[in-house]
Structure 1
Amino acid sequence: MVGTYHGILRSRDTLKTLELTGASVRNVFDVKVLGNDLLAATDSGVHISYDDGLIWKRISAKASVNAIGCIADTLYAGTNSGLFYSSDTGKVWTKVAFFGNQTIKRLTQNAEELYIYTQNQLFRKTLKSGIVEVHLGGLAGEYLDVLNLGRTQLVSSYWGMVFSEDGVNWTPITSPLKSNQLRSFTSLATDGATIFAASEGTGGYISYDEGMTWLMRSPPFHYEAVWGIGGAYYADGFWFCRAGKGPFRSSDDGRSWKMINENLDEFTSVNCFFKVKDMLWLGTSKGLFYSLNNGDQWLEPEGKIYTEIRSFVISRNGKLFAFGGNNHYESEPPYSSWKAGSLTFKQEFSCAAQNGDTIYAASFSDDIYRSFDGGDKWTLIKKGIAQGTISHLTVTPEYVLTIDGMGDLFIRMHSDTAWAPFNGNLPFKVKDLLVIGDTVYGAIQFERLYRRNLRDYESPLGLGNSFHFRDMLSFFPNPARDVITFANPALLMSIEVLDLTGNKVLQSQATAQLSVSDLPLGVYVVRTTLKDGSILTGKVIRQ
């Protein structure tokens, strides 16, 4: 049986031929078999047929139903305003309070379990326990379809298909994305050992071995439906992140996620999290919120701040700072009220970071402010970096690292007066940074993750490969007009040239000289594969 907008199609010969049955039932979203009877979920309610689909009878209110399911003798109907059940074949329907007004998109089942798919999570109800539990926590997922094969679930989305045998660890099967896009991480967080990485195209991942191997912790989601996953943060056994506009929380290393948006309206976009003692603070497009129960309920502080908040820091004496707009705001323990601080920006604030009482704050202009005393006194220092906006700051006891408007990485010691490039041979833009000990981890556009030791500037390491980048890719001249010449052509197997969006614009077998005269003026990435399988990349300017 197949539900369509024109009715229900039936096949008696394994889909070799199809016949239209029940033409009076239109806009059918789901069809299920209940013993000798048929059930249909339509835009006008739940319908039942006792004669193999010839005649249909509506057994629910006249309202749209997305999915129909049955476990034991109980019917379930998934709608845009919650889940309903009936124990008397549709005479009386009762709302399942657990789901409130959530949209129920799909219902699937086996002999003992009913699976309930909302917009972004999968729940399971077992016949034995009768308890509804989270079975899979997606992050703002946009599911297209689901399929149960015994205890194995398959989930398809705009970004491909994943399967799981336990509902905990999910494995990608296929994806319409290019392989390089699948590796794109945009936000990083750590508990000091474990790394959580959020991806714009393929959900959340976690690594227990410094990024060498990764476990998928959510199914893919539809990029156009949300703003992507970001704002990753860890505190007191919980992982937090932004998915779409809303906040999510996980207490089991990303195996399941709960949306924590009570008292936040749908137009509030989340930027950042910060935990101070028992208070979890949330920086949003509509100002500050806090929670005393790790996000189950959000409250507004006294002296409500309506400015968009993008970062938090805290001094050793407990003074909490929130940065947003053209100002920063301060609050003393117990953080019951906020006031504007003395620091103001020529243009809007972009980001802030700290290590102890050493705090850096950047604006969208050519300025960075620094404090060595926990924010009591601030010094204006010029960035000295060509590309305007600073999008990220990371501070260690000795160093500060920045990502500029072009996605390039720079470093300086606190005592220095100038910035030094720290990109090494990174092929694309840096999206986020994370420092554990002396190791810097960089989330790279179109790539997975790179790392580099703060004290070893010559050895960045690509974690997606088994080799170390010990030498820069050597070619000249750069900038180039017509031809680039490779210093060690005997080591090369193939050469590719990509534009800054990741599209391949030129490809060649190993050669000592490569013509770039047909390329438009601009910046390109040269990616070479060596005979030992290693890959080296570098940037070239065509002018």
Structure 2
Amino acid sequence: MKKALLIAAFIAANFGIAQTYNNGGLSTGATSKSGTAAPAGYTWSELQNNTGNTTESNTSLGLGGTSSSAAASFFLADDFTVPAGSSWQITTIDFFAYQTNYAGTTAPFNTVRVNIFNSDPSVAGATSVFGDDTTNRFSAGVDATMYRTGNTVVPAAAVPGTTRKIWKITANTPVTLGAGTYWIKYQLQNVVMANAGFLPPVTIVGSRGLPAFNAKQFDAILGTWTSLVDAGNPTSAPDVPLDMPFVITFTATTLGTQETMQYDNRIQVYPNPVKDHFRINNPERLRISSVEIMDVSGKIVRTLKGSEEYSVSDLPKGNYILKIKNEGGHTKITKLIKQ
């Protein structure tokens, strides 16, 4: 069953518009590279290889971003941008994690610590603008309907596993941020503290990662920062940088119409934010017939024919909605931020 991960409600004109910013996806589809279907109602989050490369794949199933003992405490950090001329009134942030072999029906995590900085917290001079490293901001934990698994084809055939169910963990983060680039430093903690969980990085079908990825890990015991990279499988594969997925729910005052739109987490636009050109990661190999670019009021500002690359260099800065149509008449919707 196809599963849409994100819902964004666009509310009445001149009032707050509830929106979501997605820092990157995890789902790679309901069928693994080897052709195995995911359990009903679920999709895989499968480690990737670059399209055309049949010898090297990613190896990072999940990163340490939890506190599991007095000797093991890690935070993760990644950035996001509030566009020029905008102000985000943030209400919640969703994070994603798994506990290997956990078979319970309720989330195995019950603690989220969030600290938002006005710049890279690994660099001297960064200032916290919200939160801290100690307060528990946990709001909810639900099944994200994905299983994390290794690459089932590259570099060798393997069977996808269902021992790493991914959970969506929501933190209450009431803060208003003006335009600028911010960093989220965060940490989860398991219900049973010693049962350390892991946080899977952003996963893009057909790509081991993008050059702009820049997530970092903080060792709270040693007080040291490390840039996150995937070492590759086999070990001779080149390192690639990683990003971490999170979803920010916020409101902004703008003209709009009352409309509800469904966001498909498997359709990834990159780079996003974009300056000149963007591409569409297309895990279902949809034959795209057109891409409509709409402003937040729902007005179509541009219609583009299906292509490998789309130019928006002359588009004004701001938030847009992409309506991606395939030749079968189906529509996928996602967000685009133009810088």
Q: TM-score, normalised by structure 1?
A: 0.20
Q: TM-score, normalised by structure 2?
A: 0.30
Higher relative contact order (CA 8 A, sep 6+): 2
